[in-house]
């Protein structure tokens, strides 16, 4: 089978398409014939050796896929060969076959295509965990989403709206904000041409945002914290801008607000039953089209490096997908 392989940590362009042996599932695993794989920011970090986990070389990037179950390992009871599924992986989705632990594989209904299923799990799971489990977002609260047209950002916009919040999207261009509006955002702030804090104040009658979803980091996080309401919650989701900010904790004290780390992967390991229930609930919303991933670009496997590069260059709205 063909796999896009990373043989040494470094530039994305080092990724090479290779012919490798067919996969064999270990106990508790399945082999999936991959039809589509979602592209995520951590793929870029992993290939460059900057992710918290460094896989042994060579490896294929890709943390989520959708496809058809082709082989079952010993002890797999709930899945059958031929099942259409979506799966979360540590890595390995950018290949014609991927192995996945059966507890991270979710059947998808016939009406859900492979591409949206592959673009769905990781970002919506992160947004759900952040908004529901960490922030306990309530209907009627104001949610500010930074990087709102990106993968986790747009998922947070859609979910926030469904949970009954008033959603303010913040992004770097009018085109990105238009996409957020089409996905349910009530208001938009262009943080390149507008002052984020001033605009949040204007849009919230001086109160600030109750919950802030921040996958961007860098200088924006402190401005966001200054835009937070008293007793608000700032969700630290990621650092797409590169720099990990240091925050003035005096502001946290004065506002009585909370700064909460959103670590979705760790939560899935710590509380597997709740995590599985969350995932099944999200897939139900996907099947009902209550949640619709926005796929702005599709790449063939051999152009996987380009797909990851487009994320680093802020060119992806919603999600990019590798189609096989």
Ligand X SMILES: NC(=O)c1ccc[n+]([C@@H]2O[C@H](COP(=O)([O-])OP(=O)(O)OC[C@H]3O[C@@H](n4cnc5c(N)ncnc54)[C@H](OP(=O)(O)O)[C@@H]3O)[C@@H](O)[C@H]2O)c1
Chain residues that interact with ligand X, rule: CB under 6 A: 40-42, 122, 126, 147, 149-153, 171-172, 176, 215-216, 237-242, 262-265, 311-312, 314, 316
Contact 150, 316 (CB under 8 A): yes
List Cα–Cα distances, 212 to 30, 141, 150, 202, 245, in angstroms. Answer: 38, 11, 15, 16, 15
Strands (E), 39-77: 64-72
CB of 41 to ligand X, least distance (A): 4
**Complex with ligand X: residue 192 or 230, whichever CB lies closer:** 192
Minimum distance of ligand X from residue 68's CB (angstroms):
25
Quick one: 3 or 146, whose CB is closer to ligand X?
A: 146
How is 86-152 classified by DSSP, letter by letter? EEE-SS--SBSEEEEEGGGEEE--TTS-HHHHHTTHHHHHHHHIIIIIIS---TT-EEEEETTTSHH
Closer residue to ligand X, CB minimum distance, 228 or 316: 316
**Measured from the CB of residue 111, what is the shortest distance to ligand X in angstroms?**
26
Q: Which residue is nearest to ligand X (CB)?
A: 150
Q: Which two tokens stand for residue 242?
A: 């590169």
- Tell me if 32 sits within 8 A of 23, measured CB to CB: no
Nearer to ligand X, 71 or 314 (CB): 314
* Least Å from the CB of residue 34 to ligand X: 19
Shortest Å distance, C-beta 172 to ligand X: 4
Task: Tally the residues of the chain.
Answer: 324
Q: Would you say 25 or 147 has its CB closer to ligand X? A: 147
Name the packing angle between helices 272-287 and 121-128 (round to 10°): 120
- Our CB check for ligand X shows the closer of 126 and 183 to be 126
Least distance in Å: CB of 1 to ligand X?
26
């Amino acid at each position: 089978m063909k796999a896009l392989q990373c043989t040494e940590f470094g530039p994305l362009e080092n990724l090479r398409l290779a012919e490798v042996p067919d996969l064999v599932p270990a106990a508790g695993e399945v082999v999936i014939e991959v039809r589509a794989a979602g592209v995520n920011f951590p793929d870029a970090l992993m290939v460059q050796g900057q992710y918290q986990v460094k896989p042994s070389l060579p490896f294929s990037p890709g943390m989520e896929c959708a496809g058809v179950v082709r082989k079952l390992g010993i002890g797999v009871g709930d899945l059958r060969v031929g099942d259409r599924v979506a799966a979360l992986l540590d890595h390995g989705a950018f290949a014609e076959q991927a192995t996945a632990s059966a507890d991270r594989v979710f059947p998808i209904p016939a009406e859900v295509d492979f591409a949206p299923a592959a673009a769905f799990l990781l970002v919506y799971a992160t947004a759900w965990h952040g908004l529901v489990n960490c922030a306990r977002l309530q209907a009627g609260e104001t949610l500010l989403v930074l990087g709102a047209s990106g993968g986790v950002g747009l998922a947070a916009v859609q979910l926030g709206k469904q949970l009954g919040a008033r959603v303010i999207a913040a992004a770097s261009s009018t085109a990105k904000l238009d996409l957020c509006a089409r996905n349910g955002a009530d208001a938009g702030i262009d943080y390149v041409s507008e002052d984020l804090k001033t605009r949040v104040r204007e849009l919230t009658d001086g109160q600030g945002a109750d919950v802030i979803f921040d996958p961007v980091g860098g200088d924006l996080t402190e401005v966001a914290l200054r835009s937070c309401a008293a007793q608000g919650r700032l969700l630290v989701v990621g650092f797409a801008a590169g720099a990990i900010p240091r925050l003035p904790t005096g502001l946290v004290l004065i506002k009585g607000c909370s700064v909460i780390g959103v670590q979705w992967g760790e939560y899935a390991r710590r509380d597997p039953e709740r995590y599985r229930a969350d995932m099944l609930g999200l897939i139900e919303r996907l099947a009902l089209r209550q949640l619709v991933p926005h796929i702005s670009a599709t790449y063939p496997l051999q152009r996987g490096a380009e797909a990851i590069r487009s994320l680093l260059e802020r060119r992806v709205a919603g999600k990019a997908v590798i189609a096989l």
